[in-house]
Structure 1
Amino acid sequence: MADYQLLLQVVIAGVFFILAIVVDLTREKIPNWLCLFAIFCGFLVNGYFAHLSGLMISFIGFSLAFIILFPTFIFKILGAGDIKLMMGIGALMGPQLLAWSIAYGIIAGAVTSILLIIWKSGFSGCIKTFKRYWDCFYLRTYFKPEEGEAAGQRVPYAPALAIGWVWACSLNQDITHLYTSVSHSLFS
């Protein structure tokens, strides 16, 4: 029974991440309906399989995502959609996998953000940004980013969060065991 629950959780979370990535890359916003549906599915799946303890795990994962990520919204590091999406993932997968997903998502975000900024603004936009930073430092005055500059680009963070989740899943012993069992039964 636990394997079915974990399989369902991983598949549902994967679907939510795929949808979030597509929407975030095209519209630069993760819709509320997607986040709310992820939260609802998390409580539903855990409540169905593990009853009251499952609901508690969902609540802790949901709350932990909010507690960890809300400061990033205040400082305008992440958007509200990213936080609500991870609240849904926390409700679905629980607090432990959520915490590792966020940690690995931060690492992945360093790489994906740089790549997406270079893709959006090109190397010339990066050079403009470095020049502006030098001018700000040297003249001790702040200058706003110009049009086409790398620093003025918005970076969708759903891809980094998804990479962090996949990374956390790949290191989770229960999920790797499930993957081995499912692939063995399908391909044997």
Structure 2
Amino acid sequence: MTDAQLVLQITLAALFFIIAIATDLTSQRIPNALSLAAIFCGFAINGYYAQLNGLLLASFGFALAFIILFPIFIIRVLGAGDIKLMMGIGALMGPELLAWSLLYGVAAGSVTSLLLVLWRTGFSGVANTLKRYWDCIYCKTYFKPEPGEAAGQKVPYAPALAIGWLVACNINYDLSSVYLQLSHYLGWGA
């Protein structure tokens, strides 16, 4: 993998995440056009720089994102936009970085989701959710979340996925060295 390819992949992935975060936070949606652009760029860049091997790498990254995330979509933990975005990131960056990004993204999502819910509902919203869960267990029936309760909040997950991707990029030596070169070139580093 050449430095030019890595710089292009990192730059595009960062751009896709920035747009996804902005739209997810404002409208709680990630546009299909953005995900399709990420998928197309992933196949085009990997195919151009590494021909058949690059297309296979993009295909594995694309498929791995679907295989891991589709069951999570079925149980309504993630939205379809998050899955399609990560399929694009998988096609762009490959299966290994995708897997690490998802792992770190889940950890980041635990923190960001809790902080966002606490910010929106306060400790009383979390306490009301815990009380409702206790009532559900005690009465052996399900009670819907009340307005203002922590469990009733929709949490945008693109920021957590982006944080997971950033952590995975910084831990991967090849990517972190290219990132440092790029940041020095752009004047971001010392």
TM range (shorter): over 0.9
Aligned residues: 188
Residue aligned with 1:24, SS: helix
CA RMSD of aligned residues (A): 1.5
CA contact 2:7–2:182 (8 Å) conserved in 1: no
Cross-structure match for 2:56: 56
Cross-structure match for 1:155: 155
Please give the alpha-carbon distance, in whole angstroms, between the structure 2 residues aligned to 1:138 and 1:79. 31
Please give the alpha-carbon distance, in whole angstroms, between the structure 1 residues aligned to 2:176 and 2:164. 16
Please give the alpha-carbon distance, in whole angstroms, between the structure 2 residues aligned to 1:12 and 1:185. 17
- 1:118-133 equivalent positions in 2, closer than 5 A: 118-133=118-133
Amino acid across the alignment from 1:177: S
Please give the alpha-carbon distance, in whole angstroms, between the structure 2 residues aligned to 1:106 and 1:185. 32
TM-score by length of 2: 0.94
Cross-structure match for 1:65: 65
Please give the alpha-carbon distance, in whole angstroms, between the structure 2 residues aligned to 1:154 and 1:34. 21
Question: CA offsets, 1:163-187, max 9 Å, x none?
Answer: 1000100100101111333345566
Please give the alpha-carbon distance, in whole angstroms, between the structure 2 residues aligned to 1:63 and 1:127. 40
Amino acid across the alignment from 1:161: L
- 1:1-188 equivalent positions in 2, closer than 5 A: 2-184=2-184
Amino acid across the alignment from 1:113: S
**Closer, same or farther: CA 149–38 of 1 in aligned 2, 3 Å:** same
Question: CA offsets, 1:9-61, max 9 Å, x none?
Answer: 00000000010011001111111111111101111111111111111111110
Amino acid across the alignment from 1:15: L
Residue aligned with 1:70, SS: helix
TM-score by length of 1: 0.95
Identity of aligned residues (%): 64
Q: CA deviation at 1:101?
A: 0.3
